[in-house]
Structure 1
Amino acid sequence: MPLLAASIVDAFVHIVGLGLLSGAAAGAVAFLHRWYTRERVPSGLAVLAGVGAVGIWLGTWRTLQPFILDGSQDMLTFTNALITVVSFLVAGLTALGSVRVGDWAATDMVALTGGTGTDDVSRLVQTVGRVVTVTLPEHIDDMDGHDTVSSERKAEIAGSSFVFPRGLTVTELRDRIVSRLKDDYGVGHVDIDLTDDGRIDYLALGGRVVGLGPLLAPGTVAVAVRADPAFSAGIGDSVAVWRHDADDDDTDDSAPTRVTTGEIRGVVGDVVTLAVDEAEATKLDATHRYRLVTFPVESRPEQVFATRLRSADETMAVVTVSPRSGLVGVPVGGLDMTVVAVRPDGDPVEVLPPRSRVLEPGDALYAVVQPTRLREIEHAADATVEGITPDLI
C-alpha cells in the first residue's frame, strides 16, 4: 500500500508539473502576441504551444530515461500510457485558461508602460495613486448611424476595468479607452463622455462595417455572376451586362441582349460581384455567362460620400432648430461642425449653405459630426437661450 500511494503521488506531481509547464508556455505566447500585435492570440495557437511544450518534455524524458534509470524498465506500460494521456488533457485545459491570463497581463502592462506626456492646457485626470482605474458602465447604448454591437459583446464589455498610468489628461484618457475598446473587443466606433476624475458618464458603441451589405445603396443588391469584364474594368466601374443567347453554341448567329446595368464590387477570376437594382436582379442567371461593357463615366459623388462615411468616425444627422433654441440667429459658419445642407421649414433644401447663412426656427440642419458633438447640437437645438452649449459656437 505505501508503494502504491507513493506511485499515485508521483503520478499526481508529474501531471501537475506538466500542466504548469503547459500553462506557462501558453501564457507566454498569449502575452508576447498581445504585446507585439496588440491583438488577442488565437486560442488554438496558444493551446498548441502549451501542449507542444509538454510533448517536447515527455519525448525528451522518454528518450533519456533508459540511460538515466534502469534500462530494463518497460516504458510501454498501461500506467505510463494513462499518465501520458491524462497529462496531455490537463495540459490542454491549463493552456486554455492561461491564454486569458497572459492576454490580460499584456494589455494592462502595455497601458501602464505607455506614454505619460501631458498637455498643460488640457485638464488632468483627478486621481489618487500611481494608476488610473476606469470601470466601464453596466449599461451601454447604441450609436445612431452605425451598426449595432451584439448583446453578447456588450455583456462582455460591461463592468470591465481598464488600468492606465497616472498623469493623463482627460482627452488622452478618453483616446486610450477608445483604443482599448477597439483593440480588445473589435468595436468599430466609440462615443464616450468622461468626468474630471476619469469616470465614464456615457458610453455608446457602434460596430465595424462588415461585408458588402452596409455599402450598398438603398434599393440595390449584390449578385455574383460568371462574366467577362473588360480588361480595364475595376471595382466601382459602372457596366452594362450583355447576354448572348448562344454562348454555348458558336454556330448560332443570334444577337446579344442587354440585360441590365450595375456597378462592379468585386472580381475573382471569372466571377464578378455586381451591385444592381433590386428589381433587375431576377434577370440574372447564375448558370449563364455574361459580357460586361464598361461605361466611360466616373463614380457618382454621392456613392463615394456614402462609402467613406460608413467607415469614418463621423456620422450624418438631421437636427431641427426649435423656436426657443439658442441657435436661432447664429450663422452656419459659427457652428463648430460641418453643415452640408439646410432645409427651411416647408422650403427646398439648400445644399452647402454659405457661412453667413443665419439659422431660423424650423430649419433642419444636415450635419456631419462626431457622435459626442451630435448629442451637444441636439441638446442646443431643443434648448432655450439660457441652455445653449457655448462650445458649439
Structure 2
Amino acid sequence: MTTAGIPATAAQVVVPGITMNQLFVAIIRILSLGALAAVVAGLVAVLYRWYTREGVPDGVAILIGIGAVALVLNTEETLASTTAVDTAAAATTISSIVAAGIGADLGRRGGDTFAANAFAVTGTAKLDREVSQLVRAVGRAVTVTLPEEVDDIDGYDPVDPETKEALAETTFVFPRRITVVELRDRVVARLKDDYGVGHVDLDIAEDGTVSYLAVGSRAAGIGPTLAPGTVAIAITADPAHAASPGDVVQVWERTEDGLQRRATGELRATSGDVVTLAVDETDAESLSDTTEYRLVTLPAEPSADREFASLLRVADETMGAVAIDEGSALAGLTVGALDVTVAAVRAPDGAVTATPARHTELPAGTTVYVIARPDALRTFEAAATAAAEEPAAEAQAETLS
C-alpha cells in the first residue's frame, strides 16, 4: 500500500503528522514527567508527615507535583523559543499535565504511607522532642474532660459547691495543633470566663488528660488587704479634693473645745461625703456614724506592704512559705536553681534575707517565701517535703532546676 507514491513503512503514522517513533518518544516523555511529579509529591508527603505527623492535604501535593512538571515544560519551551503552533507538542503538553496530576496523587499516597510506617517503626529522638510540646490527640479536635473531683486551692476562698458540681466532668473542645502550655491557658481562661473562677490549679498531660484540678475564688472587697489589727470603717467626712485611695489621713472632729483628732488611717474609697478608712481597731471605737468629720491628708507615701498586698490580690500568683525538710530534693540547691520567685528566705538560725541573691544556698531547715502560681507552688511544696531518694521527688527537682 502506498500513499502519494511513498511506500508504507513501520514508521508510518497512525495519526496524521505523527510517526510511530514520535509517538513512542512522546509516551516515554509523558511517563517520565508523570514519574517526576510522583517523586516530587512523594517527597512533599514524607517531609510533611515528618514535620507535622499528619498526612499532607491532597491539593497541596498534587499542585506541587504539577508545578514541577510545568516548570520543566516551561523551561524547554523557553530554550526552544519557537513561535509555531505544533499540534503534537500541544497534545504532549496536555497529556503530560494530566499524567503529572495522576502521578502526583500516587506519589502523595505512597510517600505518606511510607513516612507513616517508617516513623512509627523507627522514630527519632529529635522528632519526639519537637512534638512532645504538642498535645497528642486523635481526630480533628482536642477534647479535654475535667475530673469528677474538683479540689480547693489552699490559701484562697473556696468556690461554692454548685460551681464545683457544674465543673465536674465538663468537656471542652479545642482545635488541634496546640501546645500543652497553650491548651492549659485556654482551659484556665474558659474556667475563669464561663464559671467566674478566680484561680485555677491544673495539671494536664500531653494527650489532654486532666489529672488534677483545684479552684479558688478571687478575694473581693477591702478585707483581704487589711493588715492584722486594722478594720475598715465608713464615716461621713469632707476629704480634700486631692485625696486618693492609699493616702494617709487624720480624722478630726469639731467639738465645743475646738478640733479634736480622733484617728489616723488610710483612705480606701470615697463616695460623695461617705469615706471608707482603714484604721486601728482601737481608733475605730472612737468614731461614730452620726458625726461629720474633717480629713487632713498627710504628706506620707503608702506603705510598701499594703501596696504589695493590693498587687498580689489581683494577680494570678500567690505567696507561700515552704520549709525545706532534711533529705529533701531541694536541700543544698541555690535560689537561682528554682523556677519560682523567691521573695525572702529564713535561714535555720532565724536570720531573714529579703530578695536573696541567686547564689544563696538553701540548706535543710530553711524556710523559703515564694511567689508562684498555685500549681507551681504545689509542685515546689511536694519537692521540699519528699525524700531525695524517691523518684517523684527527683523528677520534681529536675523540673524546678
What is the TM-score when the length of structure 1 is the normalising length?
Answer: 0.66
Question: Which of 321, 326, 343 does residue 324 from structure 2 map onto?
Answer: 321
Residues in 2 aligned to 1:169 and 1:343: alpha-carbon distance in whole angstroms: 38
2:148 aligned with 1:138 = yes
Give ranges in structure 1 of 5+ residues lacking alignment: 1-118, 247-253
Corresponding residue number in structure 2 for 1:370 = 373
Question: Which of 167, 171, 176 does residue 166 from structure 1 map onto?
Answer: 176
What does 1:238-257 align with in structure 2 at a 5 Å threshold? Answer: 238-246=248-256, 254-257=257-260
2:229 aligned with 1:219 = yes
One-letter identity of the residue aligned with 1:271: V
Give ranges in structure 2 of 5+ residues lacking alignment: 1-128
Residues in 1 aligned to 2:216 and 2:281: alpha-carbon distance in whole angstroms: 27
Decide whether the 8 Å contact of 2:145 with 2:172 is kept in 1: yes
One-letter identity of the residue aligned with 1:208: R
2:294 aligned with 1:291 = yes
Deviation by residue 1:310-343 (Cα, 9 ceiling, x = unmatched): 1111111111111101222211122111111111
The SS at the match of 2:282 is: coil
Q: Once the 2 structures are TM-superposed, how far is the Cα of residue 240 of structure 1 from its aligned partner?
A: 0.6
One-letter identity of the residue aligned with 1:197: D
Q: Once the 2 structures are TM-superposed, how far is the Cα of residue 219 of structure 1 from its aligned partner?
A: 2.0
Q: Once the 2 structures are TM-superposed, how far is the Cα of residue 164 of structure 1 from its aligned partner?
A: 1.2
Q: Once the 2 structures are TM-superposed, how far is the Cα of residue 281 of structure 1 from its aligned partner?
A: 1.2
Bigger radius of gyration: 2
Deviation by residue 1:138-197 (Cα, 9 ceiling, x = unmatched): 211111222221111111111211111122111111111111101101111111001121
Deviation by residue 1:93-135 (Cα, 9 ceiling, x = unmatched): xxxxxxxxxxxxxxxxxxxxxxxxxx95762212111122211
2:380 aligned with 1:383 = no
Cα–Cα, structure 1 residues 121 and 294, in superposed 2: closer, same or farther, change >3 Å? Answer: farther
Decide whether the 8 Å contact of 1:146 with 1:310 is kept in 2: no
- Give the aligned length: 268
Residues in 2 aligned to 1:351 and 1:171: alpha-carbon distance in whole angstroms: 31
What is the TM-score when the length of structure 2 is the normalising length?
Answer: 0.64
Corresponding residue number in structure 1 for 2:313 = 310
Q: Once the 2 structures are TM-superposed, how far is the Cα of residue 264 of structure 1 from its aligned partner?
A: 0.7
Decide whether the 8 Å contact of 1:332 with 1:357 is kept in 2: yes
Corresponding residue number in structure 1 for 2:218 = 208
Greater mean alpha carbon deviation, residues 358-367 or residues 346-355: 346-355
Corresponding residue number in structure 1 for 2:238 = 228
Residues in 1 aligned to 2:340 and 2:143: alpha-carbon distance in whole angstroms: 32
Q: Once the 2 structures are TM-superposed, how far is the Cα of residue 289 of structure 1 from its aligned partner?
A: 0.4
What does 1:17-166 align with in structure 2 at a 5 Å threshold? Answer: 123-166=133-176
* Structure 1 residue runs of 4 or more that deviate by more than 3 Å after TM superposition: 119-122
RMSD: 1.6
Corresponding residue number in structure 1 for 2:356 = 353
Q: Which has the higher contact order (CA 8 A, sep 6+)?
A: 1
Residues in 2 aligned to 1:345 and 1:313: alpha-carbon distance in whole angstroms: 30
Decide whether the 8 Å contact of 1:126 with 1:196 is kept in 2: yes
One-letter identity of the residue aligned with 2:360: R
